[in-house]
Amino acid sequence: MVTVETGARIHVGFQNLSLAHDRLYSGVGVGLSRPRIVVEAAPASTVRCDDPAVEPYVERAVEALGVPGAEVSVRDRFQRHVGLGSGTQLALASLLAVARTHDRAIDPRAVAPAIGRGGRSGVGVAAFEAGGFVLDAGHPTELFTGTPPAAGTWHVPAPVVQRSLPDSWRFVLVVPEASPGASGDAETESMRAAVTNADPAVADEIAGVVSRRLLPALAEGDLNSFGAAITRIGRLNGTWYADEQDGLYRPPAGPIVASLTEAPAIAGAGQSSWGPTVYGLTRAETGDAAVAAARDALAAAGVEGSVRLVAPSTEGATVSPPFSR
């Protein structure tokens, strides 16, 4: 029996969606220690999985690896399509578990395109590998448009920057009860529309925020400057998606982000991916106040939802027993 465990991720946004620039996408995000996904696998002659939502990931892993099958149990997982990266983490956890249970040593990054992962953002794959803050290189624009090209012609974008955040930093996660965020064909169509209409000037402004505010704040461990930078990047991304999600943030995320941004305990806030999850950046010592602010934000928005305080991840997925070859 092989067990693979990995955490969620926040997707702050992309650096560029305009076809006028040389590199497309280039994701910005953070791996989280919680919530977790735990997948167990044992060798089998066919595919068997106790979670119907995860079974397609196992089937794709078996096909990509060319093995007979696997019996997979999902011991823990978080909600799908809420902006926390469950699809990539489940797919990669299933892939690695199936590979290890068949005594196969693999590089998940190299196999990810074959299972449909990493076609836009490289944040999820990089977080699976090593956790922490991730800024990826994006894809060559001449190769990519709103839809990834054929499998075998592209690679998962490599991290340009990947490092742990300070030990004292925390994220408050707010998951309002709302319809799921875009995924699958709907997400592809929304991204195609956003890329087609993206203003290149927005990417120019984001580049300035990343180079002159975000990365210096990361290097210096400046929570307030880092929070202001991710807030601005998220808001600028929202201008690209406004037609696709009915505003800068997908309802009901907008008023929740606004409330968190005004809370003294929170240094920055935004919507993760297509939402509905909203995140706020804080410190461990102000965590209780940040959680209270998040609950107040939900109440002010008139929606139910969950709130939790989590640490950024400091490592990638873990496998037990470790590969011994």
249: which DSSP letter?
S
Position 164 scores a pLDDT of 97
Reading the block at residue 199, the tokens are 């203003």
Given a cut of 80, whether residue 182 has pLDDT beyond it is no
Q: What percent of the chain has pLDDT over 90?
A: 87
**Secondary-structure class of domain 2-320 per CATH:** alpha beta
Which of 7-11, 111-115, 153-157, 309-313 is predicted least confidently? 153-157
Sequence-separated contacts (24+) of 239-242 with Cβ below 8 Å? 239/199, 239/202, 240/14, 240/17, 240/194, 240/197, 240/198, 240/199, 240/202, 241/190, 241/194, 241/274
For 230-269, write each residue's pLDDT tens digit: 999 999 999 999 998 989 999 999 999 999 999 999 999 9
SS3 131: coil
pLDDT score at 148 = 62
Here the tokens at position 133 are: 């803050």
Residue 35 belongs to what H/E stretch?
A: strand 23-43
| pLDDT value of residue 22 | 93
Domain ranges of the chain: 2-320
Q: Which H or E element spans position 298?
A: helix 287-301
Task: Estimate the crossing angle of helix 123-130 against helix 86-101, to 10 degrees.
Answer: 50
Question: Residue 69's pLDDT is what?
Answer: 97
- DSSP state letter for 202: H
Q: Is the pLDDT of residue 145 over 80?
A: no
Which token pair is 325?
A: 């070859």
* pLDDT(140) > 70: yes
Tokens read off for 243:
């037609």
Is the pTM higher than 0.85? The answer reads: yes
The pLDDT tens digits for 221-230 are 999 999 999 9
